[in-house]
């Protein structure tokens, strides 16, 4: 864990040393990467839900207590 903290700190320091244009480009790259990652997560969750639906393993309820138990 300590190595990761040091590594992250080095990355942050390096980023702070970049020019404004480079930091803005990095910001845009990170935002697009994060959006892509989220989209992939949603697509994966959709595929899992479709498989659960096909195998009849989904449970539905309008009862709040039942829903809490499902979590």
Between the two ends of the chain, the Cα-to-Cα distance in Å is: 30
**pTM score > 0.85 for this model?**
no
In a domain, 54, yes or no: yes
**1: pLDDT confidence band, cut at 50, 70 and 90?**
low
Q: Are 45 and 51 in contact (CB under 8 A)?
A: no
- How many Å apart are CA 9 and CA 57, to the nearest integer? 45
Domain with 71, as residue range(s), is: 25-71
Between 61 and 30, the more confident residue is 30
What per-residue confidence (pLDDT) applies to 35? 98
pLDDT (average), residues 35-40: 98
| Residue 57 located in a structural domain | yes
Is the residue at 9 inside a domain?
A: no
The answer to whether the CB of 15 falls within 8 A of the CB of 26 is: yes
50 within some domain: yes
- The count of domains in the chain is 1
């Amino acid at each position: 864990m300590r190595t990761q903290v040091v590594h992250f700190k080095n990355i942050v320091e390096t980023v702070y040393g970049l020019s404004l244009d480079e930091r803005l480009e990095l910001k845009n790259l990170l935002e697009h990467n994060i959006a892509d990652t989220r989209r992939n997560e949603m697509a994966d969750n959709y595929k899992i839900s479709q498989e659960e639906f096909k195998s009849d393993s989904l449970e539905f309820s309008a009862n709040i207590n039942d829903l809490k138990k499902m979590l």
